Every structure is written in structure tokens, then in C-alpha cells.
Amino acid sequence: MFQRFRRKRLNKHLRALVRETSVSIDDFIYPLFVRSGKAIKTEVASMPGVYQMSIDEIIKECRELKSLGIYSIILFGIPDVKDSIGSDSLCEHGIIASAIRSIKEVHPDMFVVTDLCFCEYTDHGHCGIIDAKHETVENDATLKISASQAIVHAKAGADMIAPSGMMDGIIETLREALDSNGYENIPIMSYSTKFASGYYGPFRDVAESTPSFGDRASYQMDPANRREAIAESISDEAQGADILMVKPALAYLDIVREIKDNTSLPLAVYNVSGEYAMLKLAQKHNLIDYERVVMETMISFKRAGADIIISYHAKEVAKMLNS
């Protein structure tokens, strides 16, 4: 029988020549959690290696990231004060705006992406304004303040805005707001297909954003729905998104492939907190060859069609790739 590549005859070089998928540190965005104060670096119990940091520590962290070849970060803010509308995120002296300005001052070469949402800033922990009577998120009122938050980020120097609240019409709203304020060149990376997922558990510990009542099922997607998942991303493309995203990553690689085959936009995956925590725990108990499994996981994202990987593993991956 004719075989072009007999696996058993593949030597190292031929194996590299015929390899279909590769992972590069250029593919990664590293998440950072910023809070006020000085010299604060608090490890998150459920996510070893992930910290809440004050701005001075974030600045140091950026230096280390650059030395590893990581130039892209996504920022999440933990404000001192939370209220019903997330005022801290709408204020030019809020935690995220302050962090962006300081980072850009010291590290102008860092590509700073901002997560645009309200769950980290509201006292109820939901991703938008709440209609108190009905205990539901008010979509259109949330769109208005989302536009304001985007302008606050842009003014502070953000390089890309990533709305994660899954509000209807958010991309169109933000594009219009950015354009009419002179920020035509700031791209939007949409959390376009975001599932209501149990995998976000540890993140809500770090960001202190667990909803005080109800859940996010009225605005995040049902994990059982494939067609709806594809349609959500395609709709965001039509509204003017520059990059689409699937979140979480691991349990949704079929969705990644299908969106990839139906768009010409770049596609990101968010390798979320629960996925990270699972591998970390397995590592701690010596259940797996940790580095091997991390790389295998990253390859699976690329193979499924992801161009960009947002991951808490980014620093570890950089070290592996460099050695």
C-alpha cells in the first residue's frame, strides 16, 4: 500500500516539516487583575500563579511578560467601591482607567486590551443595570453606559476593547461611540459566543463578581445550542466586530471550528479560569505530565481554528517555548 508519510520513518525534522499546527507566544493574551493600593500581590486560592495586583505590581509584571515575549494583556478591574451601576468603571480615575494610563506611561509597547463589562463593578454582580422589579438586566440601559465605559478606556489609552457582557447590539453601539469620539482605529474584540458556564467559578473569586442573586443565563448562552452559538458570532461580525471569540474554550472546540469556517475574521478562544484550575490541581497531585498536557491543550485550540488564545497559562507556555 502507498503511504506518503510512514509514521515510523518520520525523523524529527520531517515531523516538523509536516506538522500542521503550531503554537507561538505571539498567539497569546495574558489576563491581569488590577486593584488599588501599593505593593499588593495576592494569590488567588483557586488559581495558583494568578494574582490580584496593585498598579505598581502590574507595571513590574509587564516587564517580566515582555522578557518572556508576551506583549498582549487583557485587564480586569477590582474597584474599591461597587454600586448598582458600576460607577468606578465610568470614571476617568477608576481602577481600570488608572491602570491603563500607568501601564502605557512605562510600557508604551504593551498591547493593552480591556474587558468591558459591569459584573466586576456592580454590587449585585450582574453584567449590566438591573431592573429591580423583575431582577433582570436592562439591555438598552446597559448599552448606554457601556458606550461610556468604552470611551473611558479609549481615552486612557486602551489598544483594543473587549465587551464581555453579551448584551444585544453591543458591538454596533460601541463601534458608533468609538467612531464618533475619534477612536475609529480602536478595534473591538467581541466575546461573541459566550456560554453560561460553570467553568467561570474561580474567576468570580478573583474578580469578586459572583452574582448576588440569580445567574447569567438570561444573557449568556445555553451550552446545548450549537446553531444559536454560531449565529451570535456571525451577528457580531455584521455589527462590526474585528475579532470574534468563543468562551470557554475546551468544552466548545466544535463551536470554534464551525465559527472559523463561517467567518473571515480572526477568532479568539478564552481558556477560562476553571480550565486552568483543573490542570493546576492535577499538577499539584502529580496526576498528569503537566507541561505536556498544557501544550496539548494549546495545540487543540489552534487545531480547532483559534488564532488567539487568552490564557492564564501564557507565561508557562512562553517558558516552555523558550527552552
For the annotated catalytic residues, the residue numbers are: 194, 247
Pick the stretch among 130-138, 175-183, 197-205, 260-268 that binds ligand PBG (CB under 6 A): 197-205
Is the torsion defined by CA of 222, 228, 229, 233 positive or negative? negative
Interface characters, 263-282, with ligand PBG (x: CB under 6 A): ---------xx---------
> Of residues 28, 33, 71, 203, which one binds ligand PBG by CB under 6 A?
203
Minimum distance of Zn ion from residue 184's CB (angstroms): 26
State which residue, 117 or 294, has the beta carbon closest to ligand PBG: 117
DSSP states of 51-101: EEEEHHHHHHHHHHHHHTT--EEEEEEE-S--BTT-GGGGSTTSHHHHHHH
Whether 38 and 54 have beta carbons less than 8 Å apart is answered as yes
Which three cell numbers mark 241?
A: 466586530
Cα–Cα distance between 153 and 159 in angstroms, integer?
9
Which three cell numbers mark 43?
A: 494569590
State which residue, 144 or 292, has the beta carbon closest to Zn ion: 144
Minimum distance of ligand PBG from residue 312's CB (angstroms): 7
β-sheet bridge partners, residue 35:
54, 78
Pick the stretch among 8-16, 60-68, 106-114, 198-206 that binds ligand PBG (CB under 6 A): 198-206
Residue 104 engages ligand PBG in binding (rule: CB under 6 A): no
Q: Are strands 41-44 and 72-78 parallel, antiparallel or unpaired?
A: unpaired
Interface characters, 165-184, with Zn ion (x: CB under 5 A): x-------------------
Residue 129 engages ligand PBG in binding (rule: CB under 6 A): no
Question: What is the SS3 assignment for 26?
Answer: helix
Whether 190 and 245 have beta carbons less than 8 Å apart is answered as yes
> Of residues 28, 121, 195, 200, which one binds ligand PBG by CB under 6 A?
200
Residue 113 engages Zn ion in binding (rule: CB under 5 A): no
Minimum distance of ligand PBG from residue 246's CB (angstroms): 13
State which residue, 71 or 118, has the beta carbon closest to ligand PBG: 118
Minimum distance of ligand PBG from residue 156's CB (angstroms): 19
State which residue, 86 or 165, has the beta carbon closest to ligand PBG: 165
Minimum distance of ligand PBG from residue 271's CB (angstroms): 8
Pick the stretch among 20-28, 199-207, 221-229, 234-242 that binds ligand PBG (CB under 6 A): 199-207
> Of residues 117, 160, 255, 256, which one binds ligand PBG by CB under 6 A?
117
CA dihedral 98, 102, 107, 108 (to 10 degrees): 70
Cα–Cα distance between 27 and 30 in angstroms, integer?
10
Element at 227 (helix H, strand E):
helix 226-239
State which residue, 135 or 254, has the beta carbon closest to Zn ion: 135
State which residue, 57 or 275, has the beta carbon closest to ligand PBG: 275
How many Cβ atoms from other residues are within 10 Å of residue 212's Cβ?
Answer: 10
> Of residues 53, 55, 117, 206, which one binds Zn ion by CB under 5 A?
117
Residue 121 engages ligand PBG in binding (rule: CB under 6 A): no
For 98-104, the CB contacts below 8 A with 24+ separation are 98/55, 98/156, 99/34, 99/55, 99/58, 99/75, 100/75, 100/153, 100/156, 100/157, 100/158, 101/156, 101/157, 102/55, 102/58, 102/59, 103/55, 103/58, 103/59, 103/62, 104/156, 104/157
Q: Which residues bind ligand PBG (CB under 6 A)?
A: 115, 117, 119, 127, 164-165, 200, 203-204, 272-273
